[in-house]
Chains A and B, each alone.
Chain A
Amino acid sequence: MNAMFRISGAGRLSQAKTASFSFDDKSYTGIEGDTLASALLANGVHLVGRSFKYHRPRGFLSAGAEEPNALVQIVRDDARKTPNVRATVQELYDGLTANSQNRWPSLAFDVGAVNDLASPMFSAGFYYKTFMWPKWAWKDLYEPKIRAAAGLGVSPEKPDPDHYAARYAHCEVLVLGGGAAGIAAALAAAETGVRVILADEQAEFGGSLRFESGARIDGQQGYAWAQGAIAKLKAMDNVRVLSRTTAFGYYAQNFVGLVERVSDHLKSPGRDLARERLWQVRANRVVIATGAIERHMVFANNDRPGVMLASAARTYLNHYGVAVGRNVGVYTANDSAYAAAIDLKKAGVNIAAIVDLRDNPSGPVIDEARALGIEINFGRAVVSAGGKLRVSSMTVQPKNGGGGRTIPVDAILMSAGWTPSVHLFSQSRGKVAFNDETRRFVPGTYAQDCISVGACNGTDGLDATVDEAYAAGAKAAKEAGGKAGKSAKPKVDAGESWSRGMLGAAPGAGPGTTVKAFVDFQNDVTAKDIRQAVHEGMHSIEHVKRFTTNGMATDQGKTSNMHGLAIAAEELGKPIPQVGLTTFRAPYTPVTFGSIVGHARGALFDPTRRTATHGWAARQGAVFEDVGHWKRAWYFPKAGEDMHAAVNRECVTVRKVGGLFDASTLGKIEVVGPDAAKFMELLYTNPWEKLETGRCRYGIMLREDGFIYDDGVVGRLAPDRFHVTTTTGGAPRVMNHMEDYLQTEFPHLNVWLTSITEQWAVIAVQGPKSRDIIAPLVEGIDMSDEGMPHMSVREGKICGVPTRLFRMSFTGERGFEVNVPADYGEAVWEALWAEGQKHGATAYGTETMHVLRAEKGYIIVGQDTDGTVTPNDAGLDWAVGKKKTDFVGIRGLTRPDLVAKGRKQLVGLKTKDPKVVLEEGAQIVADPKQPIPMKMIGHVTSSYWSENCGRSIALALVAGGRDRMGQTLYVPMPNGTIEVEVTGMVFVDEKGERLNG
């Protein structure tokens, strides 16, 4: 297909390298190096989308990242459908498939466009006013409808198959923006030998040199100079040059987030190439050279396809070789649009007329335009654009009113002036200042070690820009430790200078008018909407913004903020700085979730911890549960068993014979040193000084407020060495808690703390046959009841490897916990398993562990306690050393509320119907007939079916629970109220005889 608007001899692309693509199922041909926008324009396509609210037909406003209108969906496959891609940024590749958005059934005939006719209904604040009540309607009616109507693009149906890379980088000088200013700054900094990173969002460097045909630097055309300078920088070892890389966020201490688009421009990226790469750069100095963005003119129907920024038309011509029309009108309030008219005219495009709001401007570009025979109208305004799917005319009037005429055109180029891109400066927490003379916000007070140069600093003219940028680059490098380099400042031979322009609505769209003169294209906000917001009482720009949604679309108001502010200021009768500028927030342009997430998804999202016996358990068919980061064997079903059957069998077998359980996930901390016992005295409620070597004790750790923080069995291996165990989930915080006190409150104690959780695998062997299972494998330990009584610890060997053998029980049966170096864990387990098989022992998982401990009333911190439970509440007063004068929590325990009567206490519950198993978390009341809301006196903390008891059992926290023994209480549930009896917490072997059984 012929690209009718490609001008031979214009632009920098090689006409030979064609690329075919489709837009809304129609095939076109473009050229390698095109953007989707330039390729469509080359084919004469301006209509590319429908607007968000009114579904008005829209075309291209810009040729860059600020684009508010031309949002399309790029489709690679079912999993790769990227919505809201700016066609002005998307590079063309052969086979690219793009679709328009927000239209049905087609782009040219869109049913939603009825919103445009009904637009009085949709004026500013419409959402707030209309969808207020009734309440039910929001959920059932308004929200679903709005969501369906408001969608821009559609989501892919499959998970994202691409991968996203991430890198940290450090440098002395980070230069953001690769136009003339950024390149000059990077050259100066690079000469000093420091590490420099230069990043630009475009595929090619040069910034506005891409369209400024008049620029000449070092004897070359500006764009050619830029390419040469970039080649020079790339060849330097101390410089990293990143194209297609947007600095989207400027954070504390010169930490800048950049996203590099690695493969979105490639036909077949291949699996080994990341889609995007996140760069997190820490820079000693940052040079911000982000340029300026041209503003549109605010007049009626300024959104018609074909109406665009003058600099955009110039870029399409001078870089891509594309004319945006054949008969072009120009509407401007400053000089720079003249240059666009001149370039187009020279390329053979007819310029129907230039309409300039200014009364008597003068200057070389105006003279040149006149010399080329272009009609120029001073002091006049374009009050309306004609046409619907494409602009067809412009109506021109004297700016103070009077008779107008309509000029046929197929495109209108507009320029209201340039807005410095202070986004990143503002994100760095710098304060912008309003320059009354040039009427623009420029960097004022700096908050970080950065400097703005060139157009984003309000510096006009190429010569001044390069001077300023080169000096700033050299200074930044020197401050960051660079050596004085040889100065090779680029010499600007010729450059363009942009003059001022206007802010706010143009004549014909001012106060009292109701025309659709768009300020914010993407959110369909008109000048009238902003004035209405002020009339309705929005006097701060932040309120105006939220009420009208001006600047709140994905383009974040890059073209609209200043116009909106000026209109609000005019309406309020206040100077612009008093109305204030809204805050600039990251990201500068939309960033994919993928680039933020990077590799941290799927299995790499969070670490998984596996114990030494994980493989064995998996081979046995264990079902695992997640406990923190750990995978723990939950139960070991035999063929045909469900969870209930497996757990029942495991529970019975452990009490009848014995069982093996992997307890390796318990936290373990070694407390060592001459003052180890003193330290233990301070950190736990129990007495430790008199605990003999070789004995164990159940310890309780409190916070200073007196509440239980953790618990576990502690063995004394030597006078100066304790082997402390913690809960599985509590291991890190207990270690932190201990370190905190040791380092800051008790630094006089000579103690060393070491986490040994991962060093020791722990195999619990429990049940009447436990000693018989272990003994044959143990060397050097007397395992008789006299030699190794309950709650003792011995060091010796098992299966020939070192062991710390604890005699302890979390089941109420005779029991041991075999600690062996983790590397031997699986081998020792297999040996113990083989012994256990001889007796008929079972492997059991965490569920059986929970049931067996509940049968004995052993608590689990974090399940039966919740951070508001004292040792007394839990029935553990016996574990608090009454003669101790200090331990963490000693004062908290005597707080009035903690010694008051009626506190919730842990008790047992038996349902009147033994078959009913209570729900954990269920609330308990004393009188089920009381009116709702009932007074809740406690809740169920643990509840299980106990096959050993032949009934359900439960633990509960109940107000004054220990004084309620034998009382009937009630658990109201949706299906009826359950009667329960308050009992003691021990359901099996109340006397504890089985510990030696």
Chain B
Amino acid sequence: MLLIRCPYCEEERPELEFRNAGEAHIARPTNIAAESDDDFEKFFFIRANPKGVIYERWRHIHGCARFFNAVRDTVTDKFVMTYKAGEPKPAKLPGAAK
């Protein structure tokens, strides 16, 4: 069972308290009704599914109930870091080269 740091509670809590909520940094278009079919497809259906670092949303559903973002390695399952919803993609990951 993983430990996940909730950026709102500011502590590590067991995985059981959390729920995954899909890929992060996919903003809903402001004028969504005017999106082309292709753009809507990219927004709603297409996901990265990388081997390695993934940016995803999690919810501390059995804790503070907040949604937040996380960086996780899909190979090792390790959480690299977590940060609050609305914050930009981190420019540099802890432990990354340079």
Minimum distance in angstroms from B56 CB to a CB of chain A: 13
A744–B32 touching, CB < 8 Å: no
B28 contacts partner chain A, Cβ-Cβ < 8 Å = yes
Distance of A740 Cα from B26 Cα, bound (Å)? 13
In-complex Cβ contact of B65 among A251, A429, A739, A891 (8 A): A739
- A885 neighbours in B (Cβ, 8 Å): 33
Distance of A253 Cα from B78 Cα, bound (Å)? 9
B32–A740 touching, CB < 8 Å: no
A705 contacts partner chain B, Cβ-Cβ < 8 Å = yes
- A745 neighbours in B (Cβ, 8 Å): 27-28
- B33 neighbours in A (Cβ, 8 Å): 885-886, 890-891, 894
Per-residue 0/1 for B28-46: is the Cβ within 8 Å of any A Cβ (1 yes, 0 no)? 1001110101001000100
- A747 neighbours in B (Cβ, 8 Å): 85-86
B2–A744 touching, CB < 8 Å: no
Provide the main secondary structure of the chain B interface: loop
A282 contacts partner chain B, Cβ-Cβ < 8 Å = yes
User: With contacts A252-B77, A255-B1 known, is A896 near B65, CB below 8 A?
Assistant: no
A743–B66 touching, CB < 8 Å: yes
Minimum distance in angstroms from B95 CB to a CB of chain A: 14
Distance of A88 Cα from B67 Cα, bound (Å)? 52
- B57 neighbours in A (Cβ, 8 Å): 744
Distance of A715 Cα from B20 Cα, bound (Å)? 32
B67–A743 touching, CB < 8 Å: yes
User: With contacts A705-B44, A891-B35 known, is A253 near B3, CB below 8 A?
Assistant: yes
A895 contacts partner chain B, Cβ-Cβ < 8 Å = yes
- B21 neighbours in A (Cβ, 8 Å): 740
Per-residue 0/1 for B63-79: is the Cβ within 8 Å of any A Cβ (1 yes, 0 no)? 00111000000001110
Instruction: Considering the complex, give the chain B residue whose CB is closest to the CB of A732.
Output: B61
Distance of A745 Cα from B27 Cα, bound (Å)? 7
Minimum distance in angstroms from B26 CB to a CB of chain A: 10
- B31 neighbours in A (Cβ, 8 Å): 886
A890–B61 touching, CB < 8 Å: no
- A736 neighbours in B (Cβ, 8 Å): 59, 61
B28–A896 touching, CB < 8 Å: no
Instruction: Considering the complex, give the chain A residue whose CB is closest to the CB of B12.
Output: A253
B67–A740 touching, CB < 8 Å: yes
User: With contacts A744-B85, A890-B32 known, is A251 near B1, CB below 8 A?
Assistant: yes
Chain B interface residue count, Cβ-Cβ cutoff 8 angstroms: 24
Minimum distance in angstroms from A613 CB to a CB of chain B: 29
User: Interface range on chain A: under 10, 10 to 19, 20 to 34, or 35 or more?
Assistant: 20 to 34
Distance of A429 Cα from B77 Cα, bound (Å)? 11
Distance of A508 Cα from B72 Cα, bound (Å)? 54
The residues in A between 878 and 917 inclusive whose CB is less than 8 angstroms from any CB of B are: 885-886, 890-892, 894-896
Distance of A429 Cα from B76 Cα, bound (Å)? 9
Distance of A713 Cα from B59 Cα, bound (Å)? 28
User: With contacts A253-B2, A704-B44, A744-B57 known, is A739 near B67, CB below 8 A?
Assistant: yes
- A894 neighbours in B (Cβ, 8 Å): 33
User: With contacts A255-B1, A704-B44 known, is A891 near B67, CB below 8 A?
Assistant: no
Minimum distance in angstroms from B34 CB to a CB of chain A: 8
Instruction: Considering the complex, give the chain B residue whose CB is closest to the CB of A447.
Output: B76
Minimum distance in angstroms from A596 CB to a CB of chain B: 14
A252–B1 touching, CB < 8 Å: yes
- A705 neighbours in B (Cβ, 8 Å): 44
Distance of A745 Cα from B86 Cα, bound (Å)? 9
Q: List 30 A-B contacts (CB under 8 A).
A: A252-B1, A252-B77, A252-B78, A253-B2, A253-B3, A255-B1, A280-B1, A429-B76, A704-B28, A704-B44, A736-B59, A739-B65, A740-B21, A743-B67, A744-B57, A744-B85, A744-B86, A747-B85, A747-B86, A885-B33, A886-B31, A890-B33, A891-B32, A891-B33, A891-B35, A891-B40, A892-B40, A892-B44, A895-B37, A896-B37
**A-B pairs with the 4 shortest C-beta distances?**
A891-B32, A743-B67, A745-B28, A890-B33
Q: Which residues of A contact B (CB under 8 A)?
A: 251-253, 255, 280, 282, 429, 447, 704-705, 736, 739-740, 743-745, 747, 885-886, 890-892, 894-896
